[in-house]
Amino acid sequence: MPSNTFTADNLMKPFLQLVAEDIQQRFGQDLSEIAIVFNNKRPITYLKKYLSEVYGQAIWSPQFFTIQEFFKQATDKTDASALRQFFYLYEIHNELLQQEGREPESPEEFYPIAELILSDFSQLDYELVAVDQIYTELYDTGKIDLEFQHLTPEQQGYIRQFWQSFSMAGHTCVQQRFLQLWKRLPQLYSRFKVRLAQEKQTNYPTLYRELAEGRATKQQFIAPYKKVLFVGFNALNRVESTLFKRWQDEGKALFYFDTDAYYVEDTMQEAGLFIRRNVSQLVNSLGEAPHVIGQRRDDIHLYAALGRVSQAKLLYQILEKNEQEGKSSAILLADESLLVPLLQSLPAIKVNITTGFPLMQSPLYGLLDLWLTVQEEVSWRKKDKLPYPLIESFLSHPLIKIASEQKNSIQKEVLDKQLFEVGLDVLQISSAVVPDFFAPVAESKALIPTMVAMLEKLQESTSSEGIALQIDYTLLFETRRVLQQLLLGMDQIGPLNIPFQIGLIRKALMPISAAIEGDPLQGVQIMGLLESRSLNFDHVYILGANEGILPKTTNSPTFLPDNLRRAYGLPILANQDALSAYIFYRHFQYSQSIHLFYNSIVDENSSGEESRFIKQLAFESQFNIVHHTQQQPISFPVQESELVIEKTGKIWDNLYNNYLRDKTSHISATGFTTYLQSPLQFFLKHIAGIKEPPSVSQEFEINNLGSIIHEVMEKIFTPYRGMRDFVATKRLEENIPQIETMVVQEIGHQYHTTYETAADLNSLQRIMLQIASAYIRMYLEYDIEQYQSFRIIELENSEDYYLDLPITVQGKTEYIKIYGIIDRIDEVVTQDGEVKTRIVDYKTGADKVAFKKAKNKTDEESAETVFALTEGTNDIHKALIQTLFYTYVFEEKTGLRNLEPHLYVARRMREDGTLFVSKDMGALEGDYLREQKEEFVGFLRKTLEEIFDPTVPFKHKADMHVYPSDPYTLFYRNSVMEGLDYNSED
């Protein structure tokens, strides 16, 4: 007679070893008529190992099953795939809608609802709930009392709470739609079951229910077995409880529950919830629950990691110290998304990972998802252009292996033309593994076959090189298999549109993973926490032991609210908590050492707290929780020295020769203001020749906008250039209707293509069209309103305005060539009849006409550090300085005087005007303008002499504003503030 009591010798034995020993005592040598059933496949290998050790000789092996494999013996029907079930449900639902006089729904509309309905139907079947009853339309509490007399008062109360939420006085639109669906569900359920039967198909929930209700095709399938042993079960649904009890009463079944008195006998312990239910009607063949957890005083190591990924980094150190030959170890992932960082952090040890490397975290998924996105654009929306980021993702993907020459050619064309969207004609790819990646599919039914063909090419490419990395190759194989199954299901249904197929494909790809095979009995086993049921290890490492993850705090979506679920005994969040608690606690019965890791950082994805299960153990048990806090050493990096470029050696030779001796280089207004903002940037751009890296920006390009406006304004005024007589500004009204057409054509010119109408533009270009057209219209309308007539003297001349300016360099007079591109020089007659000669600069950014003067108070000579600053900031007033620069060059070259600088800032010109204004001195005109021009020339000469002063190095001015988009920021990061004090001064 077998022993059913635990002794001191077997307290620390693994659960499956105890099962193996009990099997030997009960059944002796012949196990051929014994069936052993588990919740999953993982424990089968371990039980076989223990049986071989216990018997020590060859025996007739028992038959091993998972619970679903075992129940599947009760039917000859084929399995209905998830896709097939959806379409059955979809067709039936539309039939019911038509009977109600409603419009049928499309597959895309119904699919999310169908998933919830099928999930709810499954739970109702597993829990043997009367479908007609739970979906009964009840509003009167009297009806509840009458029809649900068999329920407890508490259960009846839950039902009242549910229906009282639907007021008799009137329903909201959402409530009405819910009630209509609710009323439809009993018929949907019954017709769905009939349809499955007609097709001679089934699903597991249907099979389970038929078995419990005695309607299965092979109701007595259990008869050939002498005994059926159910090992390691915990949370049983009502079907399993019913069948297990029946088979136990018939003498056909034995049960092995892995238990401990610590959580079984204490009714407050949620970990024992299901075991207490089970042992109340099913006998545990291992006898009474042992007292192990409650008597242990061992150390449990708890590690507070500084971040989610840091848990894996901490584990590396622990594994190196702890791993010993002859000891079993397991890394259990409460948070399975930690698998990839874990694999990247493991020391050189043997591992077996049946959790599987997820496809969604692999480069392959990125490529497949990219292809689906492309097909949605080119095959469904019929686009002949694609956003550049999609192209960039393709060109840089490691699995594509495109030739560098072709990659560079495509990138060059895109950059040269600044193509935000790339035409399919540009993407003529011949050298990649998948050259037809961007080709649209001919018809919707070709989508999956085309994808399968692409996977075959990728698989051939991987294997032909001899790399055949296990993970990549397995993922390719598994993905092909899943897609071929999906294709088979679709072929039997009929044509589906491309977006719906893409949605199904993405859903089918999500669970795919590649097992990283090793020895399941040797090395470190890596698995999800749920997979560890029935298994025991000497060393256990649990990652992701955070509150909110262990246990999870969210329920699966459902149409069955919590109060109804409680009333009918359906699974609720508390059940999930109890199962998680049980799986967690059972490792404390056998493992010699346990190490728990959690993320102690609080962020949007982490509570920063260890699981409450750990806190409960610390408070209630005799375990000693040893806390370890990851210490991140606070090390301040050595401050790198500031980048300062001395004007010596080749640098001085280059500067002097190019600008002063040979005059192959010159200084523009833009270069001048660059120096004022940052002498270091001036050196990098204009002396060292370090240019900004080319890029295609999806953001709004202000430079392109400015170029377009300047070009269109030039075209508008060019016909008036050189006329002796003044032209009435009213003539400009003739140009206003043509503005949009001119802007469209100029946008095409800027992007090296031809556009005729706004319809040819992409979305970003259309925004640019609207802004540019509005700004140009404002400029013209301003001129019409403010002036009677005008005469154009000069327009956008980039050739004639070079000037040799004398400066003093090392005590000698040298000549530096400066130049400016003049936007517009004109003479205008104001509404008062005054004639003015103006220099006009167009601005599209946030420039202002207001300025202030700045002096450095620490300088005893009170020399101006900057000629002018923008009002309200410490930034140089680039627009004023550049305009005065242009004015000086023009006046010196032409001999004309009294040019009045005007700034056309579209955003504020109606409110602020176009004349520069000093807060203290007023508008920059008349005598004040003449004074400031003289002062500016001195400032210009002094600054240019500083550029060529060998004693003044090129260094960044740390107090100047640096824009986030500035590509030279890396060079400024160690700049030192000089302590300049800027104050407003007249």
Model-level pTM? 0.73
What's the token pair of residue 392?
Answer: 């960039």
Residue 428 has pLDDT above 60, yes or no: yes
pLDDT for position 823: 83
The pLDDT-based confidence of 637 (bands split at 50, 70, 90) is: low
pLDDT for position 788: 96
3-state secondary structure (DSSP) of residue 383: coil
How many helices (DSSP H) and strands (DSSP E) are in the chain?
34, 28
Pick the residue with more confidence: 985 or 628? 628
Measured CA to CA, the distance from residue 430 to residue 415 in angstroms comes to 21
Residue 20 has pLDDT above 90, yes or no: yes
Residues 6+ apart with CB under 8 A from 133: 147, 148
Q: Are 372 and 522 in contact (CB under 8 A)?
A: no
Buried/exposed 581-607: b ≥16 CB within 10 Å, e otherwise? bbbbbbbbbbbebbbbbbbbeeeeebb
pLDDT for position 149: 63
What does residue 459 show for φ and ψ, rounded to 5 degrees? -70, -40
Burial class (CB in 10 A: 0-12, 13-18, 19+), 726: middle
pLDDT for position 147: 59
Residue 468 has pLDDT above 60, yes or no: no
Pick the residue with more confidence: 747 or 179? 747
Residue 910 has pLDDT above 70, yes or no: yes
Q: Are 950 and 652 in contact (CB under 8 A)?
A: yes
Average pLDDT, stretch 906-919?
88
Burial class (CB in 10 A: 0-12, 13-18, 19+), 855: middle
Measured CA to CA, the distance from residue 357 to residue 344 in angstroms comes to 12
pLDDT for position 85: 92
pLDDT for position 607: 84
Share of the chain above pLDDT 90, in %: 54
pLDDT for position 738: 95
pLDDT for position 67: 97
3-state helix, strand, coil in the chain (%, to 5): 45, 15, 35
The rounded mean pLDDT for the chain is 86
Burial class (CB in 10 A: 0-12, 13-18, 19+), 926: exposed
Name the residue type at position 340. Answer: V
DSSP symbol at 901: E
The pLDDT-based confidence of 636 (bands split at 50, 70, 90) is: low
Nearest of 777, 774, 772, 770 to residue 732 by alpha carbon: 777
Q: Are 928 and 843 in contact (CB under 8 A)?
A: no
What's the token pair of residue 887?
Answer: 């004015």
Measured CA to CA, the distance from residue 983 to residue 858 in angstroms comes to 12
Q: Which range is least confidently modeled, 359-368, 468-477, 664-673, 833-842?
A: 468-477
Residue 961 has pLDDT above 90, yes or no: no
The pLDDT-based confidence of 611 (bands split at 50, 70, 90) is: very high
What kind and span of H or E run contains 785?
helix 763-786
Measured CA to CA, the distance from residue 42 to residue 16 in angstroms comes to 12
pLDDT for position 635: 67
What's the token pair of residue 907?
Answer: 């955003």
Mind listing the pLDDT tens digit for each residue in 302-346? 999 999 999 998 998 888 777 666 688 999 999 988 988 898 888
pLDDT for position 158: 65
What does residue 540 show for φ and ψ, rounded to 5 degrees? -125, 130
Mind listing the pLDDT tens digit for each residue in 781-803? 999 999 999 999 999 887 888 99
Pick the residue with more confidence: 857 or 370? 370
Residue that has been written with the tokens 């067709």 in this structure: 91
Average pLDDT, stretch 105-124?
91
Helix axes 498-509, 107-126, angle to 10 degrees: 40
Q: Are 896 and 951 in contact (CB under 8 A)?
A: no
Mind listing the pLDDT tens digit for each residue in 39-91? 999 999 999 999 999 999 888 889 999 999 999 999 999 999 888 899 899 99
What kind and span of H or E run contains 526?
strand 524-528
pLDDT for position 239: 97
Pick the residue with more confidence: 345 or 98? 98
pLDDT for position 541: 96
Q: Which range is least confidently modeled, 29-38, 362-371, 664-673, 971-980?
A: 971-980
Q: Which range is least confidently modeled, 281-295, 631-645, 667-681, 758-772?
A: 631-645
Measured CA to CA, the distance from residue 373 to residue 386 in angstroms comes to 10
Average pLDDT, stretch 568-582?
90
What's the token pair of residue 931?
Answer: 């004074």
Beta strands in 251-376 (DSSP E): 253-256, 299-305, 329-333, 351-358
How many other C-beta atoms lie within 10 A of the C-beta of residue 367? 22
Mind listing the pLDDT tens digit for each residue in 119-178? 999 999 999 999 988 887 544 444 555 556 666 777 666 666 665 655 444 555 666 677
pLDDT for position 163: 59
Measured CA to CA, the distance from residue 438 to residue 402 in angstroms comes to 14
pLDDT for position 702: 58
What's the token pair of residue 502?
Answer: 């893409």
Q: Could you give the C-alpha distances from 446 to 97, 380, 564, 670, in angstroms and in order?
A: 32, 13, 45, 56
Nearest of 273, 256, 253 to residue 265 by alpha carbon: 273
Q: Could you give the C-alpha distances from 618 to 262, 267, 592, 597, 732, in angstroms and in order?
A: 14, 18, 17, 15, 84
Nearest of 976, 361, 965 to residue 639 by alpha carbon: 976
Name the residue type at position 966. Answer: D
Q: Are 264 and 30 in contact (CB under 8 A)?
A: no
Q: Are 622 and 298 in contact (CB under 8 A)?
A: no
Residues 6+ apart with CB under 8 A from 543: 311, 312, 315, 331, 332, 333, 334, 335, 338, 342, 597
Q: Are 537 and 600 in contact (CB under 8 A)?
A: no
Residue 845 has pLDDT above 80, yes or no: no
Residues 6+ apart with CB under 8 A from 269: 262, 263, 581, 585
Residue that has been written with the tokens 């070079």 in this structure: 802
Nearest of 377, 316, 380 to residue 349 by alpha carbon: 316
Burial class (CB in 10 A: 0-12, 13-18, 19+), 874: middle
3-class SS string, 254-284? EEECCCCHHHHCCCCCHHHHHHHHHHCCCCE
The pLDDT-based confidence of 3 (bands split at 50, 70, 90) is: very low
Residue 986 has pLDDT above 70, yes or no: no
Beta strands in 748-886 (DSSP E): 787-797, 802-809, 812-819, 822-830, 835-843, 850-854, 866-870
Q: Which residues are registered as beta bridge partners of 842?
A: 904
Measured CA to CA, the distance from residue 685 to residue 671 in angstroms comes to 9
Residue that has been written with the tokens 């990649």 in this structure: 432
Q: Could you give the C-alpha distances from 629 to 234, 310, 605, in angstroms and in order?
A: 35, 11, 20
DSSP symbol at 884: H
Q: Which range is least confidently modeled, 83-87, 155-159, 287-291, 919-923?
A: 155-159
Measured CA to CA, the distance from residue 184 to residue 176 in angstroms comes to 12
Residue 543 has pLDDT above 50, yes or no: yes
- Whether the bond into 551 is cis, omega within 30 of 0: yes
Pick the residue with more confidence: 160 or 898? 898
Cα within 13 Å of Cα(394), Cβ side: 28
Q: Are 330 and 319 in contact (CB under 8 A)?
A: no
Share of the chain above pLDDT 70, in %: 88
Residue 853 has pLDDT above 80, yes or no: no
Cα 675 to the center of its chain, rounded Å: 41
Residues 6+ apart with CB under 8 A from 909: 778, 779, 782
3-class SS string, 612-635? HHHHHHHHHCCCEEEEEECCCCCC
pLDDT for position 856: 46
- Strands of the 524-528 sheet, one edge to the other: 513-516, 351-358, 524-528, 329-333, 539-543, 593-599, 299-305, 624-629
